[in-house]
């Protein structure tokens, strides 16, 4: 009889952080969340790993509306180019950037209060960077990971570094993790206990690696076990391996005696043991180049599998050694499924934002559709949830705000000078928006004498 496993939340590595649990389904599957302080956004999908700023019912006071002339606390021009999402903690904002030609790579530290650039540090140089081959990606798209005293920045195969957040000293670097990204790096790093988890899905090699976060040394490395279907009659790989790329950031689900690392690759989706890198589950498919981050809750893991098939699978966590049930409980396919933006799960409802601006609300258990509406614009950034609202940042200057719930309601459309490929983040009562050229702090205007 298969061994039973109890799903539990991840425990934060940050001191002084209060842990809470959200129970989903009779399997006792928990969303792997950790409650962060009011001024922290520590990874690509935020303090809970799922794009949720605060649990439903808790208000942060973030603004509903803004423009270039409304609710802008500050606006700072960002040098070079990059689509990485900012991470925030300890009064500092961290983000990465790179020269447009891909020769030089930088980390920036910005004062959270006034927007002043405190650090513009050159980290890596590449004599022969591979051309991106598209206008969508950048050489600085992966998002950093932040914890007390340290920030971990990543540029794919071009380099990974750990910095002391107080002194800005570089504690370690790695430039020996090969991967032909072909169209640029995209997978962000995540922290798990004493490990920094990296994903490399290139045209030539595809693997995951865990580094000791204190030393940068490799703890484990696991190659994808994909059976590739992209071989022509002459035994050549089609399009130089273009269909083998992926840009996903993995998602962690903790059980009683292990932590599962869910990660999509081209043509297959996997679950690994996060501590050892052992492959525990694999399901093949016909999709390629996945980018969205999975999300978990209600006893399910919701996995957008990639382009081509353009499907999202609702895989029920089995609570056994088989990880999930053999087949998806339900599948949604077609133009409503995002190719880049990650899904949101709020109060049992699953929200999908497609690249061409279709937002769909589904029942997380059954897949029943409550509504699907086109909000206009194009989207690469992942939506976030705060104060009962869903914020959708578009590539062409507009952010659309929707009310969460089974009835569609558009609350606001906010416009800045430039669009966004980086996802919005929240710390305290402010929203931080990285456009193609600037970083904004968006916050309700305080009256003289009002407390911060």
Distance between CA atoms of 234 and 232, rounded to whole angstroms? 5
User: Tokens 């690509």 correspond to what residue?
Assistant: 44
Structure confidence at residue 451 (pLDDT): 54
Structure confidence at residue 41 (pLDDT): 97
Contact 188, 249 (CB under 8 A): yes
Q: Summarize pLDDT for 271-285 with one digit per residue, the tens.
A: 999 999 999 999 999
Distance between CA atoms of 292 and 335, rounded to whole angstroms? 15
Q: In this model, does residue 163 exceed pLDDT 90?
A: yes
Distance between CA atoms of 104 and 119, rounded to whole angstroms? 16
What phi, psi does 244 have (nearest 5°)?
-95, -10
Distance between CA atoms of 37 and 199, rounded to whole angstroms? 28
Q: Summarize pLDDT for 63-106 with one digit per residue, the tens.
A: 999 999 999 999 999 999 999 999 999 999 999 999 999 999 99
Query: What is the residue-wise DSSP string for 331-363?
Result: EEESTTS-SSSPPEEETTEEEEE-TTSEEEEEE
pTM: 0.91
**Residue 210's pLDDT band (boundaries 50, 70, 90)?**
very high
Structure confidence at residue 450 (pLDDT): 57
Q: In this model, does residue 381 exceed pLDDT 70?
A: yes
Q: Which fold is adopted by the domain 7-442?
A: Methylamine Dehydrogenase; Chain H (2.130.10)
Domain ranges of the chain: 7-442
Distance between CA atoms of 440 and 419, rounded to whole angstroms? 12
Q: Summarize pLDDT for 136-158 with one digit per residue, the tens.
A: 899 999 999 999 999 999 999 99
The candidate with the shortest Cα–Cα distance to 12, out of 44, 56, 48, is: 48
As a 3-state breakdown, the chain gives helix, strand, coil percent values, each rounded to 5, of 0, 40, 55
Distance between CA atoms of 431 and 64, rounded to whole angstroms? 10
């Amino acid at each position: 009889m298969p061994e039973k496993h109890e799903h539990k939340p991840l425990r934060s590595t940050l001191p002084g952080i209060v842990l809470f649990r959200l129970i989903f389904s009779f399997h006792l599957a928990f969303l792997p969340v950790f409650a962060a302080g009011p001024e922290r956004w520590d990874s690509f999908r935020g303090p809970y790993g799922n794009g949720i700023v605060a649990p439903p019912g808790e208000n942060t006071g973030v603004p509903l509306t803004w423009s270039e002339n409304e609710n802008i606390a500050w606006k700072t021009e960002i040098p070079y180019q990059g689509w990485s999402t900012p991470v925030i903690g300890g009064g500092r904002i961290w983000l990465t950037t790179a020269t447009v030609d891909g020769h030089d790579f930088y980390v920036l530290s910005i004062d959270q209060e006034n927007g002043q650039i405190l650090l513009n540090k050159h980290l890596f140089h590449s004599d022969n960077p591979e051309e991106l081959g598209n206008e969508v990606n950048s050489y600085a798209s992966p998002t950093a990971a932040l914890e007390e005293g340290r920030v971990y920045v990543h540029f794919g195969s071009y380099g990974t570094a750990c910095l002391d957040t107080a002194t800005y000293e570089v504690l370690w670097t790695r430039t020996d993790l090969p991967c032909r990204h072909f169209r640029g790096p995209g997978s962000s790093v995540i922290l798990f206990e004493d490990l920094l988890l990296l994903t490399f899905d290139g045209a030539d090699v595809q693997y995951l690696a865990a580094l000791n976060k204190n030393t940068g040394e490799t703890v484990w490395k696991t190659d994808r076990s994909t059976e590739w279907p992209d071989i022509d009659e002459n035994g050549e790989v089609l399009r130089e391996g273009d269909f083998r790329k992926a840009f996903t950031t993995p998602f962690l689900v903790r059980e009683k005696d292990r932590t599962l690392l869910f990660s999509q690759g081209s043509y297959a989706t996997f679950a690994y043991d996060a501590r050892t890198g052992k492959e525990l589950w694999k399901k093949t498919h016909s999709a390629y180049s996945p980018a969205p981050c999975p999300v978990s809750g209600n006893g399910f893991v919701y996995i957008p599998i990639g382009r081509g098939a353009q499907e999202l699978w609702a895989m029920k966590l089995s609570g056994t050694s088989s990880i999930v049930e053999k087949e998806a409980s339900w599948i949604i396919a077609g133009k409503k499924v995002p190719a880049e933006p990650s899904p949101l799960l709020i109060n049992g409802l699953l929200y999908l934002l497609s690249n061409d601006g279709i937002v769909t609300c589904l029942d997380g258990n059954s897949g029943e559709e409550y509504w699907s509406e086109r909000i206009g614009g194009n989207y690469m950034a992942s939506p976030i949830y705060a104060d009962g609202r869903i914020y959708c940042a578009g590539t062409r200057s507009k952010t659309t705000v929707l009310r969460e719930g089974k009835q569609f309601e558009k609350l606001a459309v906010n416009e800045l000078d430039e669009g966004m490929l980086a996802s919005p983040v929240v710390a305290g009562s402010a929203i931080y928006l990285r456009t193609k050229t600037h970083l904004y702090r968006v916050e309700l205007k305080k009256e003289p004498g009002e407390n911060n």
